Amino acid sequence: MGLNPGSVYGAYGNKHDLFIAAMRRYLEDVTREGIDRIAAAPTGREGIRSYFDYLTEGIVSGRRQWGCLGTNAFMEMADRDDTVQTIMKEHFDKLEVAFREALERDRADLPCRLEPVDFARYLVCVAQGLNVLSKTAPDRQKLNGIVDAAMLPVTALEEDCVR
């Protein structure tokens, strides 16, 4: 960035604090938009789909060329760095809540045996799995196939999806 060490240390103190600030900003900027889409769609199901489409689009376009900064940091540092652990847990929680609220909006369509909260956690899991797989440089077709499968439980009652 053309900055000298002294300026950076003057502004942020040390490398770790700088990183935490970058991570917070990343989650604000990049992740907020995805999460906001969940509630913005006309139905919960469409909101969830929109989240995953936004995620896959980022992966395919190269916007997420190095994967998700949050997930990367979490995988590398979470067991030694409480701040990273906490930030990322909060992020997971936000995402889980957004998914759960979406599912509760469509509750009438959900398979009966599962609670929205389990479903929401499951969707968080799928999102993180996609962040892992993003590092294999998957194409749009593969990602859409995965998301289609992941969405099946949410669309299970639509006749054209279940024989």
Q: Which residues bind DNA (CB under 7 A)?
A: 2-7, 9-11, 14-16
Check: CB of residue 128 under 8 Å from CB of residue 135. no
By CB under 8 A, is residue 90 in contact with its own copies?
no
Which of 79, 82, 139, 140 binds its own copies (CB under 8 A)? It is 79
State in angstroms the smallest separation of the CB of 67 from its own copies: 7
Where b means 16+ CB within 10 Å and e means fewer, 124-134 reads bebbbebbeeb
Check: CB of residue 44 under 8 Å from CB of residue 101. yes
Instruction: For residue 151, give the nearest of 119, 128, 104 by alpha carbon.
Output: 119
By CB under 8 A, is residue 113 in contact with its own copies?
yes
Task: Give the integer Cα–Cα distance in Å for 137 and 32.
Answer: 24
Q: Residues in the site for its own copies, rule: CB under 8 A? A: 66-67, 71-72, 74-76, 78-79, 85, 88-89, 92, 111-115, 117-119, 121-122, 124-133, 135-136, 142, 145-146, 148-150, 152-153, 156-157, 160-163
